[in-house]
């Protein structure tokens, strides 16, 4: 069973009398909750007006950190040890990084340990590991306390 999606932003709307009842009936006819029917109706209306909800930038670690200002993150690796990481516009050569300090340059992929929601999660400092022909920088995601989430 897929993990339920949790939404962090709330919107309150005012409508003409009877509209809320129509939304309830429309949602029931589709076997949905009124809130889901309303979310889908808003997304449809936005697309019809030329705004694509799918174009909202993602907030996962990969989309935030893999490429920054047009530059990609690369790691200098020596044996089974990561020596350093830096961002480059093009894939660097070994000598571009730090001559004599490593034996290969690998791209870095940033990932979250689970789906991230800024309203309810913190990202802990990353854990780096070498995985074949890439370095994975994994951010552990932990829930915020109720006091911090409000």
Q: For residue 17, which phi and psi values (nearest 5 degrees)?
A: -55, 140
Task: Give me the tens of pLDDT residue by residue for the chain, a chain 150 residues long.
Answer: 444 555 667 788 898 989 999 999 998 998 888 888 898 888 888 889 988 776 666 678 888 888 899 999 999 998 889 999 999 999 998 877 766 777 899 999 999 998 888 778 888 999 999 999 999 999 999 888 755 444
What does the alpha-carbon distance between residue 108 and residue 30 come to, in Å, rounded to a whole number?
Answer: 44
pLDDT of residue 87: 94
What residues does each domain of the chain span?
1-56, 61-149
CB 64 within 8 A of CB 110: yes
What does the alpha-carbon distance between residue 148 and residue 19 come to, in Å, rounded to a whole number?
Answer: 36
């Amino acid at each position: 069973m897929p993990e339920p999606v949790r939404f962090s932003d709330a919107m309150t709307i005012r409508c003409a009398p009877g509209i809320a009842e129509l939304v309830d009936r429309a949602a029931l006819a589709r076997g949905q909750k009124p809130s889901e029917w309303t979310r889908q109706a808003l997304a449809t209306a936005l697309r019809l007006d030329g705004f694509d909800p799918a174009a909202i930038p993602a907030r996962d670690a990969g989309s935030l950190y893999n490429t920054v200002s047009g530059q990609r993150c690369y790691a200098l690796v020596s044996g089974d040890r990561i020596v350093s990481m830096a961002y480059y516009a093009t894939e660097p050569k070994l000598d571009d990084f730090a001559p004599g300090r490593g034996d290969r340059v690998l791209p870095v992929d940033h990932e979250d340990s689970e789906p991230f929601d800024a309203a309810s999660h913190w990202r802990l400092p990353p854990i780096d590991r070498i995985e074949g022909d890439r370095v994975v920088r994994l951010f552990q995601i932990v829930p915020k306390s109720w006091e911090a989430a409000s």
